[in-house]
Amino acid sequence: MKGNNFMDELVEEHELDNAVINILGLGLLPTYQFLFEQKPSLEDFEKWVLEKEEASFQMK
């Protein structure tokens, strides 16, 4: 049943990704759009997250 473990891991990874995105207040759609449309490097993604976080903080 190796296939089930792989699928379980994918589901868990997806849930973890979504949880982190939500905790950071980024929103799922904008984050996935940025990742899939821009295909950023890790460094560029980190910069994007920090920019979003800074903008969110300034709005409060």
Largest CA distance in the chain: 50
Domain extents in the chain = 2-59
DSSP string for the chain: -HHHHHHHHHHHHHHHHHHHHHHTT--HHHHHHHHHHH---HHHHHHHHHHHHHHHHHH-
- Over residues 7-41, the pLDDT tens digits come to 899 899 999 999 999 998 999 999 999 999 999 99
Query: 57 or 8: which carries more pLDDT confidence?
Result: 8
- Over residues 40-50, the pLDDT tens digits come to 999 999 999 99
